[in-house]
Amino acid sequence: MNYRETLDYLEEMSQLGSVPGLESTAELSRRLGNPQDSLFFVHIAGTNGKGSVLAYTYGILRAAGYRVGCYCSPAVYAYREKIQVNGKEILAREFAELMSLIREEADAMASQGRAHPTVFEMETVACFQYFKEQHCDIVLLECGMGGDLDATNVIRNTLVAAFASVSMDHMAFLGNTLGEIAAHKAGIIKSGAEIVSGIQDPEVLEILREKAGGVVLRLVDKERISHVKYGLERQRFDYISQDGGHYRHLEIPLAGMVQPENAALAVEIAEALGKKGFSVTERQIRAGLSQTRWAYRFEIAAKRPCFILDGAHNEDAAKRLAEAVRFYFTNKKILYIMGMLKDKEYEKVIAQTYAYAEQIITVTPPGQARALSGHDLALAASAYHPRVTEAASLEEAVEMAYLLAGKDWVILAFGSLSYLGALGRIVKDRSEKHGRSGKNKRGR
């Protein structure tokens, strides 16, 4: 297969959906010689903040000179960004070659009466093979969903099991209580691994401690984060690690009030890796944090009016987004663009955020079988807010937003990450076009 044929094949196979369990991934990996057994991992689970924590840790380890593999999802800009080594995406040719090999083995499994691996299972094995071929020193591995039955959990050599904030999500697969969800996520803990957690609900911490056995958890404590100076483009804070490391004036480029907590978790991961032979200095930690880039986490896409993109797609993330809106944009008029997947708690997201909107525009995330239609989202939002409009396309949503918003307003697009990449490109292209033509960004 070439790259285009590979994407078509994966689109065809996406009908298999998500199937919790390790059997298919383990068998597919075995057929390729278990490439994951040649690698060392930082395994990251959680509900919100996984991506940011991974990005900070990625930056730190790269600043320390390690060859770092990174596997994360979903893709925002392009499909291949899910699999990276030292900031470079897997090449189209390499990805096509890998997936051709994996397709052959997956089809053979199906012909022998086994379940055909899902897209995520095939991608996961592809990343293991690629990182082995690339001779990575260490791999940052983000759980797709849950933990114990997530395809990524076939790994053995977990150096650090890390937990970003755990909250309610994927209830159809993981359970209807926080305890049930936490128990699934805690399944990534392996014997001999360092265990690191961000700030959690007490019920979650109790489950992590139970799963850890006698291993001491390395925890982020909000009381040890101090002197925070928030900003939309740069933030600074002090942090005292669990081992007593005193980091003054750490600087991060990601906006959002939760980001110091995510960065502090990355610091704890770096210190935990030191106990596993991956030494990282304070200077490298500082450099890695300050150079971190992670798309669509309260990201500024354009100015005048300020255009923010954020991947808040569940109730807990919506609470944090509302907190950031109150803090950063007091007395500002705000216009929302919302796009959601139908298996998310979109009504709870609306309930947490509607009060701060002057106007709401809804869209249908394109190219997503699980997309909630902009019409249905508009109907749900109309139960909370009197000014809701459905846009027929992302382009129309952007144009409507610029027509309705004054230059001192804020346009906030949030929800599923699956549509923010395309929306962000539209905003960028529009800004560049109007910049070249000498017109302002509202096109008036």
Which pLDDT tens digit goes with each residue over 55-105?
999 999 999 999 999 999 877 667 898 999 999 999 999 999 999 999 999
Q: Are residues 431 and 329 in the same domain?
A: yes
Domain CATH for 163: 3.40.1190.10
Q: How confident is the model at residue 441, as a pLDDT?
A: 41
Which of these three, 290, 324, 339, is where a domain ends? 290
Bridging pattern class, strands 194-197 and 158-163 = parallel
Residue 414 sits at φ, ψ, to 5 deg, of -150, 175
Q: Are residues 279 and 404 in the same domain?
A: no
Q: How confident is the model at residue 432, as a pLDDT?
A: 83
Section 422-429 average pLDDT: 92
Q: For the chain, what is the mean pLDDT?
A: 92
Q: Are residues 309 and 269 in the same domain?
A: no
Examine residue 444 and state whether it is found in any structural domain, yes or no. Answer: no
Q: Could you say which DSSP state residue 154 is in?
A: G
Q: Are residues 8 and 42 in the same domain?
A: yes
pLDDT beyond 50 at 10: yes
Q: Are residues 377 and 276 in the same domain?
A: no
What is the share, in percent, of the chain residues with pLDDT greater than 70? 95
Q: Which residues contact 208 (CB under 8 A, 6 or more apart)?
A: 163, 182, 186, 189, 195, 197, 200, 217
- Greater pLDDT, 433 or 6: 6
What the block records as the tokens of 115 is 């379940």
Q: Are residues 161 and 271 in the same domain?
A: yes
Q: How confident is the model at residue 277, as a pLDDT?
A: 96
Distance CA 405, CA 398 (A): 11
pLDDT beyond 70 at 200: yes
Q: Are residues 339 and 360 in the same domain?
A: yes
Q: Which helix (H) or strand (E) holds 417?
A: helix 417-437
Section 320-340 average pLDDT: 94
Examine residue 180 and state whether it is found in any structural domain, yes or no. Answer: yes
pLDDT beyond 90 at 296: no
Which amino acid, one-letter code, is at 114? R
- Greater pLDDT, 304 or 334: 334
Q: Which stretches does DSSP call E strand in 125-278?
A: 138-142, 158-163, 194-197, 218-219, 225-229, 235-240, 246-252
Q: Decide: 135 and 39 in contact? Cβ < 8 Å.
A: no
Q: How confident is the model at residue 75, as a pLDDT?
A: 73
Q: Are residues 242 and 325 in the same domain?
A: no
Q: Are residues 67 and 162 in the same domain?
A: yes
Q: pTM score, two decimals? A: 0.85
Section 268-286 average pLDDT: 97
Number of domains forming the structure of the chain: 2
Distance CA 197, CA 218 (A): 6
Examine residue 223 and state whether it is found in any structural domain, yes or no. Answer: yes
Range of the structural domain that residue 206 is part of: 3-290
- Greater pLDDT, 320 or 374: 374
In the structure, what pLDDT confidence band is assigned to residue 436 with cuts at 50, 70 and 90?
low
Section 285-304 average pLDDT: 90
Q: Are residues 110 and 251 in the same domain?
A: yes
Q: How confident is the model at residue 173, as a pLDDT?
A: 56
Examine residue 442 and state whether it is found in any structural domain, yes or no. Answer: no
Q: Are residues 328 and 251 in the same domain?
A: no
Domain CATH for 366: 3.90.190.20
Q: What is the CA radius of gyration of the chain?
A: 22
Which of these three, 240, 273, 290, is where a domain ends? 290
What the block records as the tokens of 328 is 């950063």
Examine residue 112 and state whether it is found in any structural domain, yes or no. Answer: yes
pLDDT beyond 50 at 440: no
Q: Are residues 263 and 322 in the same domain?
A: no
311: left (phi over 0), alpha (psi -120 to 50) or beta: alpha
Which of these three, 290, 309, 338, is where a domain ends? 290
